[in-house]
Amino acid sequence: MNANADRQRDLIAALDFHLEAGVDLMLDEHPHDRFNEVEAPRMDARPPEVESRPEPKPALRPEPPPRASSAQPPAGTYGQSAAARPGEAAGDARARAKDVGSLEELEALLAGFDGCPLKFTAKNLVFADGNPAAKLMFIGEAPGADEDRVGKPFMGRSGKLLDRMMAAVGLDRTSAYVTNIVPWRPPGNRNPTPQEISICKPFIERQIELADPDLIVCLGSPATQAITGTKDGILKTRGRFYPYQVADREIRVLATLHPAYLLRQPLQKRLAWRDFRTLRAALDGKA
């Protein structure tokens, strides 16, 4: 047997294994033994009460790893350490978001915003799809690999299911505006962290103000919690309406199950079906 062919087959099997496990992004050329690196000082750690602090031990690998994305956080801004200072980045996001006057300007602002670390591992900004003039807005959690590649939300399997659910109640992407609470893909499809959500929140809030829908459907728990402020899980919140205040106008928010969850738990589609009938009734002025 040819040893090279064996080796190639083993390498392909190893890659397949990693892909299956959700490891589909390489952040560096070299593996890192994180257990051997010096722990970075915590932001909230108190400095020792001595005047001259001992020098921290140097990390085993002093050079910062090169990033996969071509975009680099600019030196000297919080962009390099937004993960450590989410409050500062969220404050800046809020200050900038309130000044934009259109969805196009908001998208351009996001494209130039370096305060969210997710930007530097994502391939593309995923801003929105569908009809921004529609009276209905769907808000999901964060882009996945397909959305990151295409630059539009809900393009993969979850998106196909969402399209079918919409079609079942007479809707499509010309009658709805579709977006996410976080516009960059978290690496390996992990959930966005509370810090990442709080940094991006001023942008989705401004996006809602500018799109000005009558009805919002939040898909899944993170979107529902971020938009309504509830701490309840989706199995409790789904099917319910929540108020969302924009200036002196109240927008209704309906929570429902995320299509990705329905792909994993197809029996729960009956609950989503109930919610979509509630949505239809609301659009028809009957709920």
Question: What are the tokens at 58?
Answer: 């140097």
CB 219 within 8 A of CB 141: yes
Question: Of 144 and 187, which CB lies nearer to ligand URA in the complex structure?
Answer: 144
- Segment lying near ligand URA (by CB under 6 A), choices 29-37, 45-53, 135-143, 201-209: 135-143
Chain positions 161 to 220 lying near ligand URA, rule: CB under 6 A, are 180
Position 154 contacts ligand URA (CB under 6 A): yes
Q: How many CA atoms lie within 13 A of 166 on its CB side?
A: 22
Position 129 contacts ligand URA (CB under 6 A): no
Query: H/E element holding 179?
Result: strand 177-180
Query: Quick one: which of 96, 95, 100, 144 has its CA closest to 124?
Result: 144
Question: Of 78 and 234, which CB lies nearer to ligand URA in the complex structure?
Answer: 234
Question: Of 73 and 143, which CB lies nearer to ligand URA in the complex structure?
Answer: 143
Position 140 contacts ligand URA (CB under 6 A): yes
Handedness of CA 131, 193, 254, 170 (dihedral sign): positive
| Tokens 């609301």 belong to residue | 282
3-state secondary structure string across 65-110: CCCCCCCCCCCCCHHHHCCCCHHHHHHHHHHHHCCCCCHHHHHHHH
Window 35-74: contact mask with ligand URA (x via CB under 6 A): ----------------------------------------
- Segment lying near ligand URA (by CB under 6 A), choices 26-34, 42-50, 136-144, 202-210: 136-144
Calculate ∠ Cα 226-193-121, nearest 5°: 120
Question: Of 145 and 169, which CB lies nearer to ligand URA in the complex structure?
Answer: 145
**From the CB of 74, what's the least distance to ligand URA, in Å?**
27
Question: Of 92 and 176, which CB lies nearer to ligand URA in the complex structure?
Answer: 176
Position 137 contacts ligand URA (CB under 6 A): no
**From the CB of 48, what's the least distance to ligand URA, in Å?**
44
CB 137 within 8 A of CB 213: yes
- Cross-sheet strand order for the sheet of 215-219: 129-130, 177-180, 136-140, 215-219, 249-256, 241-246
Question: What are the tokens at 251?
Answer: 């927008």
| Tokens 């960059």 belong to residue | 184
Position 221 contacts ligand URA (CB under 6 A): no
By Cβ distance, which residue is nearest to ligand URA?
140
Binding residue for ligand URA (CB under 6 A) from 79, 115, 130, 143? 143
Question: Of 73 and 118, which CB lies nearer to ligand URA in the complex structure?
Answer: 118
Binding residue for ligand URA (CB under 6 A) from 115, 153, 187, 202? 153
Residues found near ligand URA in the complex (CB under 6 A): 140-144, 147, 153-154, 158, 180, 260
